[in-house]
Structure 1
Amino acid sequence: MKIFHTSDWHLGQSLRGFDRYYEHQCFLDWLLAQIRTEDIDVLLVSGDIFDNANPSSASQKQLYRFLQAAREAAPHLRVVLIAGNHDSPGRLEAPSPLLARFETRVVGQTARIADGNIDLEQLIIPLHDRNDQLRAWCLAVPFLRPGDVPRIESEQDAYLAGVEALYQQALQQILLRRHPGQAIVALGHCHLEGGATSRDSERRIVVGGLEALSAGIFDKHIAYAALGHLHLPQAVGGREWVRYSGSPLPMSFAETEYPHQIVKIELDGERLQAITPLRVPRSVELLKIPAQPAPLPEVLQALQNLPYDDLSLPERQWPYLEVRVSFETPEPGARALIEEAIKHKAVRLAGIDANYRRGDGSMHIDEDSTFNDLSQLQAEDILRQHHQTQYGGPVPDDVMKAFQELLLEAEL
């Protein structure tokens, strides 16, 4: 059985005000071609399908048109999608009855049965091959908020204990019904301990200061764990089979060097036979000019030397540009000079990274500079800055925990 693992599409995302519909469509067209070429049996999407809980009609149509095209291109294809922390669980699950007719399963959230326990059946999905033979089982666990996990009495953090218990309980149900030769694949949208993060793009999703879960929640019976949330492709916990596919597009300028990819998984019975990353072509470049902050005259010269002169190209294909400047003192006219330097260049100015040189020669970024984009900051970072300014000290742990819980509730 051949499976594609992908995640963190963030359909509907804009980059500093620029719509990215074209880039997402290029990725989906490429993915569709790969499904045909590689003759894939199953597509797994590990959360953050949309960039926010209230996606535009255009981004929703983009998803459903892709699912329709994928089904037409590969009538045997099975698709499993789980919700991430950016997704609205209810909105994602709403069309489930229709999607199920096209062998697409959506798991947006956990539900509870009459006795108050988690309904494990909704998390367990049998995977059939093109001959309709049951070849594997999928343990599909969406992003879990504190109220979504079993209530466990434990000396460790209640949330972490609940997540671990949920995976173990669902896995035991699969082990009771699977036959020899049938593999188990797990999906999750979470932050595992040891995972490398992007400084700009990924929301913190675990409350109480506990940033990560242990890779040990994935039992040895699981052939492959297909994870979402972290945008850098990576294996975690020293286990090649516990893996983030990463995002298919750079979500910020901090991710321009990431090897954006999807992952092809090949199963042989219960065994993982091969893991093959497939690089996603970048349809629009993200430029950081210069590579390191430089004085304004040098920056203006570098911008004038940019080779992007073909203004006949559709603007949606123009590279995004972040200009990186160092200043001795504030220069109010800097933006106008930068805009003039690129006036005849086929690039889109997506930000100015302004750095100011201290008296000792070291550099710092002016957090209050009008050049900087507030949307790049995490909500917790804004709270920390405000608290430091207002009270002259760090945010107390209990206040930060309450604030993080409010953030999660606001995303419901």
Structure 2
Amino acid sequence: MAVHFLHTSDWHLGQLFYNYSRHYEHEQFLAWLLKQIKQKQPHALLIAGDIFDVINPSSQAQKQLYQFLADAHALAPHMQTLMIAGNHDSGYRIEQVEPLLEKFNTKAVGIIHWNADKTLNTERLILPIYDASEKIVAWCVALPFLRPAEITGFNEHTSDNQSAIEYVHQSLIAEAQRRKTPEQALIVMSHAHMQGGEESDSERRIVIGNQEALPTDLFTDAIDYVALGHLHKPQKVQHAHIRYSGSPIPLSFSEINYQHQVIEAWIHPTLNEQRFRYEVLAIPRSIQLHRISGELEQVMQQLKALPQGEINDSEQREYVDVEYHSTTPPPLDLRQQIELALPANRYRLLRICRKHTSQHADDAQHSKIDLAPPTPEQLFSTLWDKMGFEHDDVVEHDFLTLLHDAEQLQQQQKTGL
């Protein structure tokens, strides 16, 4: 008998997108997912981490998760929901409501558990998946995001992070192999950055220099499927059965062209051919994103050409990001100009970014050998960038105004006025 499951990850419930709530978009995704569950009746739903966007999610975001779990259980009582903590989640938080989760046939693994003798607590990390008749059809090794403090220093095999990661994977996979029968599938669910995975701008770097990326050879040939979370682009990693499902909604404008999806998979453990197969369930996008770029005149033309028609509910209005190219500072009423160019009551203007362009092709080369001390404007811009803030024309205008006032005051003091 085949084990049938859905694989999703990186919901980031509670995310604020330039201070705008994504609650409506998540509600639309979860309603769509409930329809898939009702129709397909899988054995399991795998949620591979980053359930919430922050470690301390809002009550609204938590309610959204638990209402979904209740609704899913009502639609498919035999289905098990297995979820792990990602780097955005608090592992302790998602485990502390275990009695509630049990009512919805749900299990959560937030942290790596250890026994008193410093061995891994495999009972909490290797989870059975049952069919409707309560027969075990698969085993799932559940690996939350591996923080060094939670896996190092427990025994001679965990003296450093790399050896601890290898020990955890090898121990759990070996134990799962001992438990399974030839008729049962073996699945690994992990929230990790795998070597060869393609990132977007919205993924948080945990270790500088990509040192946290893990090799796929941690997963032995005995594993039928690896359900990954962390990277937001749906993709396979070297092998068709090692996959990121990706995020269900675009979490930054760098993900505007992603084909967001949930993976529906089947494993036939007793077959040699077509042992594993999958289908992509495309998630409809509930709110469109528009990235506008070019010279200022081109930007205005593109804005005016956007689809018309009012959207009454402000939470359902489409997002607009503007990047204009210019050699001169922005006009003081630029934001007002852009807002007037946008069709009324349909869009939310998230950001206006100016990309400075040189008037001469060799300006960049000249700037490399310019030994003049930096101007206050250059110092401010450099510090602003180093602090990780995005360009803001309003802030720039305020700074230039203050600088002008300071220069006038300094000149008055010099002349004795």
TM range (shorter): 0.7 to 0.9
Runs of 4+ aligned residues of structure 1 deviating over 4 Å after TM superposition are 150-154, 361-364, 369-377
Query: Which residue of structure 2 lines up, in the alignment, with residue 318 of structure 1?
Result: 317
> Over alpha carbons, which structure has the higher Rg?
2
The structural deviation recorded for 1:100 is 1.8
Change beyond 3 A, Cα 1:102–1:305: closer
What CA RMSD, in Å, does the superposition of the two structures yield over aligned residues? 2.6
Which segment is superposed worse, 313-322 or 257-266?
A: 313-322
Give deviations 1:125-158, integer Å, cap 9, x for gaps.
011011111110000010000122255768x993
Q: C-alpha separation between the residues in 2 aligned to 1:16 and 1:371? A: 18
Q: C-alpha separation between the residues in 1 aligned to 2:386 and 2:344? A: 24
The structural deviation recorded for 1:175 is 1.7
Identify which of 115, 120, 144 aligns with 1:142. Answer: 144
Q: C-alpha separation between the residues in 2 aligned to 1:215 and 1:282? A: 31
Query: Which residue of structure 1 lines up, in the alignment, with residue 211 of structure 2?
Result: 210
The structural deviation recorded for 1:297 is 1.9
Give deviations 1:24-56, integer Å, cap 9, x for gaps.
000000000001112211000000000000000
Q: C-alpha separation between the residues in 2 aligned to 1:267 and 1:368? A: 54
The structural deviation recorded for 1:209 is 5.2
Q: C-alpha separation between the residues in 1 aligned to 2:32 and 2:47? A: 15
Asked if residue 287 in structure 1 is aligned to residue 286 in structure 2, the reply is no
Residue identity matched to 2:381: D
Residue identity matched to 1:203: R
On the 8 A contact 2:266/2:277 being kept in 1, the answer is yes
Residue identity matched to 1:251: L
The structural deviation recorded for 1:372 is 8.9
The structural deviation recorded for 1:303 is 1.2
Residue identity matched to 2:180: R
Q: C-alpha separation between the residues in 1 aligned to 2:351 and 2:207? A: 30
The structural deviation recorded for 1:267 is 1.4
Residue identity matched to 2:49: G
Secondary structure in 2 matching 1:303: helix
Q: How does 1:218-257 map to 2 (within 5 A)?
A: 218-236=219-237, 238-257=238-257
Q: What are structure 2's unaligned runs of at least 5 residues?
A: 365-377, 391-417
Query: Which residue of structure 2 lines up, in the alignment, with residue 356 of structure 1?
Result: 356
Q: What are structure 1's unaligned runs of at least 5 residues?
A: 378-412
Q: C-alpha separation between the residues in 2 aligned to 1:269 and 1:15? A: 43
Query: Which residue of structure 2 lines up, in the alignment, with residue 381 of structure 1?
Result: none
Q: C-alpha separation between the residues in 2 aligned to 1:331 and 1:362? A: 23
How many correspondences in the alignment? 369
Query: Which residue of structure 1 lines up, in the alignment, with residue 408 of structure 2?
Result: none
Q: How does 1:58-97 map to 2 (within 5 A)?
A: 58-97=60-99
Give deviations 1:335-366, integer Å, cap 9, x for gaps.
222122226241000112321102434999x9
Asked if residue 166 in structure 1 is aligned to residue 168 in structure 2, the reply is yes
Identify which of 105, 108, 117 aligns with 1:106. Answer: 108
Asked if residue 273 in structure 1 is aligned to residue 286 in structure 2, the reply is no
Query: Which residue of structure 2 lines up, in the alignment, with residue 11 of structure 1?
Result: 13
Residue identity matched to 1:295: E
On the 8 A contact 2:48/2:190 being kept in 1, the answer is yes
Query: Which residue of structure 1 lines up, in the alignment, with residue 117 of structure 2?
Result: 115
Residue identity matched to 2:325: S
Query: Which residue of structure 1 lines up, in the alignment, with residue 413 of structure 2?
Result: none
Q: C-alpha separation between the residues in 2 aligned to 1:362 and 1:263? A: 50
Which segment is superposed worse, 368-377 or 272-281?
A: 368-377
On the 8 A contact 1:45/1:81 being kept in 2, the answer is yes
The structural deviation recorded for 1:205 is 2.5
Q: C-alpha separation between the residues in 2 aligned to 1:374 and 1:26? A: 35
The structural deviation recorded for 1:211 is 3.6
Give the percent of matched residue pairs that are identical in Structure 1 and Structure 2: 40
Normalising by structure 2, report the TM-score. Answer: 0.83
Query: Which residue of structure 2 lines up, in the alignment, with residue 175 of structure 1?
Result: 177
Query: Which residue of structure 2 lines up, in the alignment, with residue 386 of structure 1?
Result: none
Residue identity matched to 2:281: L
Q: C-alpha separation between the residues in 2 aligned to 1:354 and 1:362? A: 21
Secondary structure in 1 matching 2:267: strand
Q: C-alpha separation between the residues in 2 aligned to 1:215 and 1:266? A: 21
Give deviations 1:378-408, integer Å, cap 9, x for gaps.
xxxxxxxxxxxxxxxxxxxxxxxxxxxxxxx
Secondary structure in 2 matching 1:51: coil
Query: Which residue of structure 2 lines up, in the alignment, with residue 329 of structure 1?
Result: 328
Secondary structure in 2 matching 1:368: helix
